[in-house]
Each structure stands twice: as C-alpha cells, then as structure tokens.
Structure 1
Amino acid sequence: MPCGRLVMRNKIPVSAVIVTRNEEKNLGRCLASLEDFAQILVVDSNSTDATASVAQSYDVSVIPFVWNGAYPKKRQWILDNVSLEHDWVFFIDADEAATPELCAEIAGLDWRRAGYFVKGFYVVNGRRLRFGITNKKLCLLNRKKMQFPVIDDLDISGMGEIEGHYQPVLKAGEAGRFSTLRHGVLHYALEDISRYESRHDDYADWHAVISAKKGLPDDPVKARQIGKQVLRHLPFRNIVFCLYYYVVRLGILEYKHHKNIFRAKEKYHSAG
C-alpha cells in the first residue's frame, strides 16, 4: 500500500528507519509502504534469513548493528551513529505498514512539534480491527530535540538490545510539545500468535522488574504520565482494564480476535 497512491509530488523529508532481526516475511510489505519517504534505512541485527536480500531488492541500504551489552541501545545508537539525512526520523517496525493516509498526513505537517504519536491498528486475516484499544508510540520525532532515556535495565532479561516499552524524551535544555496523528500504521503482529505472545511475555517480565526498581521513565506528556500512575495504583486494575478494553472501547464486538491481544496486555498490566 504505497503512499504514492495518493500521488505525492515530493518526497517526505523524513528518514524512515526499520529495525530488524529475521524479518524476511514482513519486511517487503513495510518497505513498500514507505516509498515516498526521502530516506529509508534498515538497521539489522545479524539476521540469518533473507532480510538483507529483501531490503536490497527495494534498493534500501542495510546497516549492521551489533549490541555491546551497554547503552545506547539500538534506536538511540541509530540516532547517534547512523548518517541520517533529515532531522525528522520515523521509527517503524517491520511488522507494521504505513497507510497512504498516514503518509499524506506526515507530508502535510508543519513540523512545529518535538514529536508525534502514531497509532497502531491490528490487522487480522487482512482486515483492520475497528474496536478495542490501539497502541500509540512516539515514533516520529525530531532527533535534534529527542532522545531515548538510559534506564537501569541491563540486568533484566527479555528486552536486550532494543529499548523497552517507554517513550523517547526531550533532551536536557530542549522544550517542545507533542501531538497525535489522526492516521496510523497497520500492525500485522497477530499473523504469528506464538511470536506475539512470547514477545509480550518478555515485555511483562521486563516491566515487572523495572517497576519493582521504580525505574520506569516518565512519559514526555504529563497527562499520559498521570494516567499511567493512576492505573498502576488502582486496586483491581485488571478488572478496570478489562471493562475499558471490552466495554468502553467495544472490544467485545471483535472478541474472537481481541482475546489474544487482551491476554498479552493483561499480563503486562499485572506486572506493575
């Protein structure tokens, strides 16, 4: 679903970056959705499948990454070390695809923010889910203003080389505001349920330990941070989360598909 279907006259002045490890099944779809970005890079961690060949078939450079077990982790390493042609960077996962509407929205931004949250919509059997919660990531950012925080998690298994479930933050001395884009990416993670559940088990284990350490970084948006703090201290928060997910957000209307998502996220919220 290339952005070009909306007939853009100029390339989007953004560096689109995909972090990969063994993503041959997903990468082509993601790359095809980014054709109107001025720069596209794949930063790969020792893939043993055809990830590099897929990237090369789209004439996209593959930059090798070998983690040394310390900070910076992968995304911040990219911001620090990779030759990015633009101040604005769009981090997108290989199992995601930018919609034409999102591309058009990004192309029309006035770039007055420090960063933008992008929604992710799950896709099952080729159909986008309409209900339940959507995840939002601050993945379109100004690299001159933003960075990923260093937190005390190097002794925690699960996350390894990649930053955990937290947002980038403003650099010291920088100021800026944030907005959420109307359109989003399509998320194909549910095509491999076992991988999805395994990944979220790792997230939950990481979250439990970092929460016990009181090491979670603050969200860059104050209202979001307050909401997270309230949720963490709610008694019966899993019941509250269930009601919000299935009743308020109408996830019950697509229960067959949402039960796997809910089960994974419930573990995460139970972890603290």
Structure 2
Amino acid sequence: MTINEERVLKHTLQSVAPFAQVFVVDSHSTDRTLQIAEAHEAEVVQFTWNGGYPKKKEWALLNLPFKYEWVLYLDADEMVTPKLAVQLAELMRTDPEHAAYDVELDYWFLGKMLRHGHRVTKRVLLDRTRAVWPHVDDLGVKNMWEVEGHYQPLIDGSIGRLTGTLHHNDRDPLFDYFARHNRYSDWEAHLAEREPLAKSVQGARTERGKRYARLPLKPLAFFFYSYIARRGFLDGRAGFHYAVAHAFYFWQISAKRLELRRNTKAVVDVRSGTSKSVQSPSEQQTL
C-alpha cells in the first residue's frame, strides 16, 4: 500500500520480487512511487477512497486479481527478511497448518534497528479465502483516513506465528512519524470512549494488543515496560526516544479521551437547556 513512498518502496519490492506476485495499491502518488513500482515489475492498481467501506486493505483483498490463495500484506516501509523469506517458501511448499500467521517487526528508529524494548506484531500472512476485514464504526472520527486502524483481519481458522521478521524502516522524518501518531491517537480515543465499538475492535487485535488496551496508567506503564522490563535502554538513545515517543502517544490518547468527554458533556448541557454563568474576560484575569 503506497502514497508517495519513493524513499522506501525500492527496498520493499526487492525483498519480495524473487518469490511473489506483487501488487502496489497506490493512492494517486505524486512522487516517483509509480516509476519505482514499474521498474520492479510490480502491478500498480489505483485506489480512491469514497469515505466509507471498504477501506484500502479490504478493497485490495476483494478486488485484486490474485493468482494464489495466500496473501502477504506489506506497508511500503516493511521489508521481508531473508529468514522470513525462507520460512514463507517452506510454508508454501506444504499444506499450511493455520489459516493465517502473525509476524513480528524489527523496528528502526532514529536510524538504528531496535533489538530490545517493545515489539510490534502484525497479522500479515493469510489465506484470503478464510479472511475478512471487520467494519468498525470509526467513519465519524474527524481525522480518520483510507486505511484500516490498529486491528487485524478476522480469520476463519487457527492463527500461527512465524519466527522470521519484517524490517520496518520508514526513513521518513520524525514530523511524519508524529503526524501519524496524532491521527491514530484520535482513532484510539474515539474507540475507547465508545464501549461497544472498543469491544468489537478488541476482538480483532492480537493477544498482546488486547493486554496493552487494559493497562492502567498506560503512558508510564508502557515506558517502564519498553525501556526497563524489555531492556530498551540497551538500544541507547534510540531506545530511550522510542519508549518516550510511544509513551507520549498513549498520553495523547488519554488527553483526547478527556476532550471527547468534555465536548460530549457540553453538547448534553446545551440540549438539556442547562444554563451556566460565564465570566467576563476581566473577571477571569482577576481570578
């Protein structure tokens, strides 16, 4: 899946070209993304989001002319490692035991691959005939966009786990990293404040994701978990800044939840006709 990914796409395509039929599902990129995709003989398909469902991942599953039943989902900044490529080859030569497989990410931050700290797991390999993407009620989130949020496809069957990893190295400046987190934290806050919706998304997350969602004091708990318990300090400054950045992300979610509650209460007060005294600017300054 791409939109203006000229910094990273070459590395991703090189990691899968030897063994896969490759589709680049693009959202009308304006940089060199398409030229890079074509140079690596990937089939480019344009996706235009209409503001509803299906979103990009589901649309790809439903509409691409696949030759095979097994699909590997990759973001443009994710690369298949040699170990994972060998495992995929072995798996495809047999009758896979499971209907889908989870894979861990080797995450790069500030130019360094993190070998410790928090690990991200994604459900990226699946039998497309036994997988569906859930529709969650998130279209009303102000800053929501065309790609599914932090949840996994639903699988009709068992789910395995591969020991090979994906390299996640987006090579984008931190401005883009924090912009994504700002958008995702809107989505997470929206979910957390709507209990039925939160429960439905929880069912489509990995077991680790479900445990994280239940953590109290999540910003502090995450920093302790990633930097101390998971020895993120061994990754030096990159490990420290990664733990802080993620802890700040969870703080964003908690602050935005308070904002949502405040805005909801204000709407209820107005609709119920409740009147409240409002201080003048001079009175506020005096206080």
**1:144 match:** 129
**1:7 match:** none
Question: Per residue, is there more helix in 1 or in 2?
Answer: 2
Spell out the pairing of 1:181-220 with structure 2 (5 A cutoff): 181-189=162-170, 191-214=172-195, 215-216=197-198, 217-220=201-204
> Within 1, Cα distance between the matches of 2:205 and 2:145?
26
Deviation track 1:84-134 (CA, whole Å, cap 9, x = no partner) reads: 111111111111111111111111124221211111112357642211111
Contact 2:218 2:247 in 1 (8 A): no
Q: Does 1:29 align with 2:11?
A: yes
Question: Per residue, is there more strand in 1 or in 2?
Answer: 1
Q: Does 1:117 align with 2:102?
A: yes
Q: 1:133 to 1:167 in 2, by over 3 A?
A: same
**2:283 match:** none
Deviation track 1:27-49 (CA, whole Å, cap 9, x = no partner) reads: 11110011222311100001011
**2:64 match:** 82
Unaligned runs of 5+ in 1: 1-18
Q: Does 1:230 align with 2:211?
A: no
Count of matched residue pairs: 247
Spell out the pairing of 1:90-169 with structure 2 (5 A cutoff): 90-109=72-91, 110=94, 111-124=96-109, 127-169=112-154
Q: 1:245 to 1:196 in 2, by over 3 A?
A: same
Partner amino acid for 1:108? E
Q: Does 1:249 align with 2:233?
A: no
**2:266 match:** none
Q: 1:195 to 1:103 in 2, by over 3 A?
A: same
Q: 1:158 to 1:267 in 2, by over 3 A?
A: farther
Amino-acid identity (%): 35
Could you tell me how far 1:221 is from its partner in structure 2? 7.0
Q: 1:239 to 1:158 in 2, by over 3 A?
A: same
Could you say what secondary structure the match of 2:107 adopts? strand
> Within 1, Cα distance between the matches of 2:109 and 2:26?
26
Deviation track 1:187-209 (CA, whole Å, cap 9, x = no partner) reads: 11354221111111111111011
Q: 1:251 to 1:77 in 2, by over 3 A?
A: same
Q: 1:59 to 1:223 in 2, by over 3 A?
A: closer
Q: 1:37 to 1:27 in 2, by over 3 A?
A: same
